[in-house]
Amino acid sequence: METLYFMLGVLTVLAVVNVVGLVSVWKKASSNADETGSVWTGIDSINRDLGTEIKNVQNEIEERVNFLDRDLNEQITEIHRIIDSRLDKLEDRLTKMYNEGCKPAKEK
């Protein structure tokens, strides 16, 4: 009979140790699951922030490119105007020289 009580005592201790171990493992698993969820939430937040930053940089680059394109077009237009003006003046001088004759050539 004492052997039976001894065996029941050992089984009881083992059962208690198993229950305590199981509860401990369950708590750690639950804690790890919470931490994993927290990590995924952080990753999602960083992903959203990074996406927003990329869009902002893209918009800024597009604005700068558009500004530079407009500025370049204005400068090209200004150069064309200046060249056109100079060519008109040269044409007027050549026409005048043709109509009046070239005075330096006549003098020689």
> Is position 14 within any domain?
no
What would the two tokens of residue 72 be?
């370049």
Q: What predicted TM-score, i.e. pTM, was given to this entire model?
A: 0.50
Q: Is residue 24 part of a domain?
A: no
Residue 42, domain extent: 30-107
Residue 9 domain-assigned (yes or no): no
Tell me if 65 is assigned to some domain: yes
Largest CA distance in the chain: 150
- Cα 51 to Cα 30, 38, 56: the distances in Å are 31, 20, 9
Each of the 108 residues of the chain gets a pLDDT tens digit; together they read 788 888 888 889 888 888 888 888 888 888 888 888 888 888 889 999 999 999 999 999 999 999 999 999 999 999 999 999 999 999 998 888 888 776 665 565
| Position 12 in a domain | no
Domain count of the fold of the chain: 1
46 in a structural domain: yes
Helix (H, G, I), strand (E, B) or coil at 101: coil
Is residue 6 a part of any domain in this protein?
Answer: no
